[in-house]
Each structure stands twice: as C-alpha cells, then as structure tokens.
Structure 1
C-alpha cells in the first residue's frame, strides 16, 4: 500500500510536471510559481516547436521521476551562467583581436617599380643609391629670395646655385598667429619659349626628366642668368639650343658683320632683307653678344620682380616676332620660382647645325631630341597630356591662344 501511495504521488507529480511544462513551452511563462527549467538551446521557430516540445517534456519528466528536478535546475542554471560568461569573454577577445588587426594594417604606399636598365647602361650600385651620397652642383643660391610683409623669419636648410630650400615663419592672415614650419622652395627665374618657324612648324623637344615618368614633350626653356632680362634669356636659350632667332636678330647680325662677307652666307653678298637661307661661320657666343648689346637691362616692379615686357629705353622698335605671354608664379604658396613665357614666330636659322655644338645645359638633364609639329599636332599633344609639366603645357596653351586670336592686346602681345 505504501508502494501504491508512492507510485500515486509520483504519477501526480508527473501530471503536474506535464501541466507546467506545457504552459512553459506554449505560453512562454512560469506556472504555479515554480521556475521553469532553463533553456538549453536557442528559441525555435513556430514551425519547429512541436518537435522541440517532445524533447523538452521527456527530459523534464525523467528529472521529476528521479526526484532530481530542483538539483538539476540549480546545476543547469549555474552551468549556463558559466557558459554565458565564457562566451562573453571569448567574444570580447575576438573583438579586441579584430580591432588590432585593423589598426595594424599596412597602409604605406607600395614600393616603386624597379629601375629598368638596358644592356648598355651600367647597373646602380648600392653606394650610388644611398641617401647619404654626396650631392653635386652645391653652391650659393644666386637668385633673389622671396619675402613680404607677412615674413617673420627665414631659415635655409640647403642650397645650390639654382635652388634653395627654406623654412619660413609666416604671419597668419589673422595678423596675430605665426606659422613656424612653412616650407618654401626658392628657384631661379626661368623662361619657356614656343618656337614657330618661318615654314610654319613648331620646334619641340622629346626628352626625359628626373621627376617625370617616361618621355615627355617640352618647349625650349632655361634659367635667367643674374643681370639678364627675361627677354634676353629667351633669345639666348633659343639660340643656344636650336640656333634659331628672329628676323630682326638676323638683320642685326648682317649689319654687324657686313664687312666680313666670308663669315656669313659662305662669301655671298650680304643682303638687308629677311632671307634666312644663308649660313655662317659665326659662333653662338658672338651672336649672344649682339643680342646682349642690343638688349636692355632688366626692369623691376614694386615687388622686386623682373618685368618681362617693359623696356628701360623707350621709343625703340619692338621685335614683332617675339611675343611676351606673361609672368607666372609656379607654386602659389611654396615658391618654385617665376616663369616668363614667350612665343617666337617666324623663327629663322642664325647658325648652322642648330645651336651650340656639344651643348651642355646648366646642370639639369638635357638629353633631348628635336621633332617638328604642325598646329594640329600641338593641339592633340596638349589634349593628350604629352607635355607633362604644367609650365610647358600652360606656355603652349597661351601660345595657341595668341595665334588663334584670343590673346587680348592689354597683355602686351609684342616685346622688344
């Protein structure tokens, strides 16, 4: 009889357990004040809940029949709490490692491509590539350093004959703050000249430059010597590099050497017209002297900058073949020197062979070849980015603007 009571009591507890489990599974709450058994796996969707009910009920009934429900519930709750804590710790570590991986990503630029050398070129040794290698061409900068009312101080870091790197302290636009680390590059003023021959061709260089990838097209150009006017520098550069000049310069040469017919036109009579077909044994240096003797010293404006158009001697004929296209700062805030742009039209040969024999530039890269382009070719080259320096492209664009009638007369379309 005692066994029957125990069996009945067990059956009653099982029935009560079924009711509580049914309420927990179907209604999502606790019944009769008794805590439901802990969830051992994620909540299922409605489509899977029927299959889940049987597993839940069977497990709980086994616990109730063995009189271990409360102990099992307590142990399971503690185990679940420990597992939850471990999961949180693991998730936190994963987040930390993920953040570290993002923070340590290498965002540095890729290494530059290897230097290609043909078989005729010697390979670069490690000593020649060293950043501590000695530099050539060092000296004292020959130009006029820039400063204005906002310049507080200037410290020179390094200089050569043609350039200088400074650190300026500059007064801010508010008039009180000072920018003490203003990097500024001084560079000698330079000229660019677009040369258009009497035959209607544009003379262009194809060359390589240290800071330009691959080959580029360029006009004639070079630094202005100390005490030289921009216009004289333009004439000298065209003469040295191409042996060309204006028709007026040609007449001046004939006038200068009219008693030395054997040195010009190969002994033919010296004519006063603009015939460019003669040859000469004159040296470039002699013609440069004629250009310099007939030129004017540079004129300076209120900022101490040379004017590329004004003349120190008034009422002298202008050379109609030379067109002044303007003066331009190459880097608005960082210096870079000033560029004077010119166009030479109707260019004629002044010396045979084109320029100084074995012409050696002024320390810059000067390995170049000459090509002739018509106007359409120049426009296509401009549009295609073949002139890879902005000063060259701008000077050619200004020349095309003038030739096509777009350059206003106010800008001084003719020069000395």
Structure 2
C-alpha cells in the first residue's frame, strides 16, 4: 500500500529588499515628518511652560490697586514680583490676602502666598531728663501670655508721616513733648521746627515681617522729654488722657481696651529689663535696643 505523501504548507512569497531597493527610503519619509511634527509640538508646549511667566510678567502692571470698596485705611503693598491678590478679610487697620508671586527668576509662580497688610505704626522710647528715667508702660496684650513691659506706640493717622505719628503718640499716651517744642509754646515768638529738634532721634523705618508684611514700623527716641503743663495741653495738641490714666488708641479704628500703667526705670534698670526679655514683643525689644545702642555709642565717643 502506497504511503501518503506528507502535507506541505504552501510556499510563502519570499520578502526581498532587493525587489525594490528604494522602498524602505520612501516608507521612512512619513515617519520622519511625523517625528519632526511631534518635536515641534512638544517644544512649543515646553516653551510656553518655561517662558510664559516671564512674558506675562512683562505685561503685568506692577501696581495692583485695592478693591474700590476696601475698608482698609492703609496703603496696599505692591512689588515687581506681585502678579495678583485676593482679599480674604479686612478691617480698617489690617487686611489678610493671598498673593500670586513670581519667583526671582520669573520662571515660576507661587499662588498661595499668605500676606498681611497693616496700617503703618510707630514705637517711641521716652527719656525724662528731669528724673533721669525712661518712661513707658506695663500692660497686657491679646497675643501675649502674660503682662509685659511696653513702649509708646500706635498707628499712623491718615496722611501722617512716621515722625509726626511718634510726636502725636507721645502727647496722647503720656502728655509729654520735647524741650524745644515746649519752649516754643511758652515763648509764643519762637517758631517750632520739628526737623531741627535735636531732642528727637529717628531710629529708622522697618518692615515688620520680611515675607508676610505686617506694615512698616517707624521707631523714634525722644531724648529730652518733658511733661506738658496742664494749662498748655490744648496749645500743644494734647488729646490723650495723660500719664498714668491709660489710653485706648483708635487712629485706624482699633479699640483694644487694654489699660496701660506707667513704669519708670533708670538706664541700668532698663538695660537689664531688655536683656531679660521683659518686653515680650520683638518690636518693643528692638526699638529699646536701638535706643540703648545710640546711648552707648554717643557716650563712648
């Protein structure tokens, strides 16, 4: 019996590059075109991501105004790095915002920058030459854990400079002024020029928090403070309650209701109090430290 022949698969046509030696080149052209198009799209998108902030920065107005219906009485902060702001809450003397801020190289934007605007304020160190003592307060504050030594201070009134606010606050809170101003009031013929009053020393103007705002502090030192006689208080512009009676400042609408008690210390006593942290707010400590440094510098020259 004859053996069946084995099954054979049909022969497949052999592929040969030789059959059309240019066909592979023709097929590669569309692939190259697609690859180039892909690269162009990707690079275009990357370019917009990398350069868009700086392009937008050049088009963004540096000064971004506050809302027209703002109740905040201070000046809003502006910076070349500020893109935009969102007001979260505000009162007459303070405002909390979220800022969108460009990085220093203008390549990134941080959109959750917490910011606090506050009406600019002052601290004043007062030295009574007649008693050779510093005059200041002991009081409680809402954010402090216990009673603290404190300096004369308050907010700027509308349109007031830092130096003008310092002079006013000393009158309002203590009923004191400088020797030259009192002599001018008593003489009625000698005009008073605050800029020529060497009893006052401006210690500087400082940002409260470098990254979060908090307004600017003007620090001053009244080196020859004298009490204003009661019969001259109206002429001197005295509007407060005076020494030992306490005062509630409301220049910007703030009413804190915190009584102030007068404290007097000599130079050695106040130096030790500053070193021992008896002024619990950093601005009070820094202002007194600046005044003491000026005293030390002037006495050593």
Q: Deviations over 1:293-319 (max 9, x none)?
A: x66xxxxxxxxxxxxxxxxxxxxx610
Which residue number corresponds to residue 14 of structure 1? none
Which residue number corresponds to residue 378 of structure 1? 270
Structure 2 stretches of 5 or more lacking a match?
Answer: 1-69
Query: Are the counterparts in 2 of residues 167 and 184 from structure 1 also a CA contact under 8 Å?
Result: yes
Query: Are the counterparts in 1 of residues 248 and 259 from structure 2 also a CA contact under 8 Å?
Result: no
Alpha-carbon distance in 1 for matches of 2:80, 2:126? 39
Deviation at 1:360, TM superposition (A): 2.9
Q: Is structure 2 residue 156 aligned with structure 1 residue 221? A: no
Which residue number corresponds to residue 123 of structure 2? 192
Structure 1 stretches of 5 or more lacking a match?
Answer: 1-138, 259-271, 273-289, 296-316, 410-416
Alpha-carbon distance in 1 for matches of 2:123, 2:282? 12
Q: Is structure 2 residue 249 aligned with structure 1 residue 361? A: yes
Deviation at 1:252, TM superposition (A): 2.2
Alpha-carbon distance in 2 for matches of 1:184, 1:171? 14
Q: TM-score, normalised by structure 1?
A: 0.49
Alpha-carbon distance in 2 for matches of 1:393, 1:177? 37
Which residue number corresponds to residue 323 of structure 1? 201
1:181 to 100, 109, 112: 112
Alpha-carbon distance in 2 for matches of 1:173, 1:208? 41
Secondary structure of 1:204's counterpart equals strand
Query: Are the counterparts in 2 of residues 209 and 365 from structure 1 also a CA contact under 8 Å?
Result: no
Q: Is structure 2 residue 102 aligned with structure 1 residue 171? A: yes
Which residue number corresponds to residue 78 of structure 2? 147
Q: Is structure 2 residue 238 aligned with structure 1 residue 343? A: no
Which residue number corresponds to residue 398 of structure 1? 290
Secondary structure of 2:80's counterpart equals coil
Alignment of 1:201-216 (within 5 A): 201-216=133-148
Q: Is structure 2 residue 163 aligned with structure 1 residue 231? A: yes
Q: Deviations over 1:111-159 (max 9, x none)?
A: xxxxxxxxxxxxxxxxxxxxxxxxxxxx711111111110000111111
Structure number having the greater strand percentage: 2
Deviation at 1:326, TM superposition (A): 0.7
Seen in structure 2, the aligned counterparts of structure 1 residues 237 and 213 have a Cα distance that, compared at 3 Å, is same
Alpha-carbon distance in 2 for matches of 1:371, 1:322? 21
Secondary structure of 2:297's counterpart equals coil
Which residue number corresponds to residue 162 of structure 1? 93
Count matched residues.
Answer: 217
Query: Are the counterparts in 2 of residues 221 and 237 from structure 1 also a CA contact under 8 Å?
Result: yes
Structure number having the greater helix percentage: 1
Query: Are the counterparts in 2 of residues 143 and 187 from structure 1 also a CA contact under 8 Å?
Result: yes
Alpha-carbon distance in 1 for matches of 2:161, 2:240? 21
Secondary structure of 1:405's counterpart equals helix
Deviation at 1:222, TM superposition (A): 0.5
Query: Are the counterparts in 2 of residues 242 and 355 from structure 1 also a CA contact under 8 Å?
Result: no
Query: Are the counterparts in 2 of residues 169 and 179 from structure 1 also a CA contact under 8 Å?
Result: yes
